[in-house]
Amino acid sequence: MSPDRNGEPTITLLDASIGETPAQRNVRRELDLPQTAHKVSEGHLPPDPTGEDWDADGVVISGSQTAVYDDRAWIKRTAEWVEDAVIAGVPVLGICWGHQLLARALGGRVGPMDDYELGYATVERVAPDPLLEGAGKRFLAFESHSDAVTDLPTDARVLADNDQAIQAFRLRNALGVQFHPEYDVETARWVVQNKADELPDDRLDAIQQSITPQHHAKTAGANAVFDAFERLVRERS
């Protein structure tokens, strides 16, 4: 166990977002455990997860505005770090881009989709797993991605999907979710607004109109992945 001063297990967040974003705020809100954030998109990696300086109990990988297959040195280094963490037995949760990076780092493949999956979508569980036990058989989630995992790593298991992409998977202590369980209403609106140069105005307007507190409350099942991940971290610490 790597406790903080209050004896709690701790989380390391790999913030892969570019520039000033709500990524760190959102994860801090959803996970009660103490957290340390590292802006990996700016080259700031945590200590080696197999070394003496490593002192966390779980890892979360955020979303990003890049593609995991972009030729960027920081993406390569982050993927190598994540692979080492998984091999070392650290619980790792990848969200959206993080889900894709996790799959690719462990031997899977990621490629571009025909179109964005943006806005609220229905996700279906296809295998039982503690990660999604609070989500129900079918649940609503907010999506924002134009890439998807096309091939999972060897021995990985699909936990949820829809007609657009693999939506969740597990490979031992590595867990990925394509949807965004951490988004609040403000973040969902901000993300859609930032697609103004990429998608038609009428489509974006329709998605914006769907983002209401009442509608967003229906994503509580997707949000429950954080409770499940926290339980996993506590069990492993």
Contacts of 105 (CB under 8 A, 6+ apart): 79, 80, 82, 83, 86
Residue with tokens 């994860």: 27
Please state, in angstroms and rounded to a whole number, the distance separating the CA atoms of residues 100 and 97. Answer: 5
Report H helices in 39-176.
73-87, 97-105
Q: Is 198 a catalytic residue?
A: no
Question: Given 96, 99, 143, 216, which residue is catalytic?
Answer: 96
Q: Which amino acid is at 160?
A: A
Can you read off the two tokens belonging to residue 233? 């971290």
**C-alpha neighbours within 13 Å on the C-beta side of residue 4:** 13
* 235 labelled catalytic: no
The whole-angstrom separation of Cα 108 and Cα 91 is 18
Active-site annotation holder among 145, 180, 216, 230: 180
- Active-site residue identified among 38, 182, 216, 230: 182
The dihedral sign for the CA sequence 221, 225, 230, 235: positive
> By three-state DSSP, how is residue 187 classified?
helix
CA distance 120 to 216: 8
Catalytic residues: 96, 180, 182
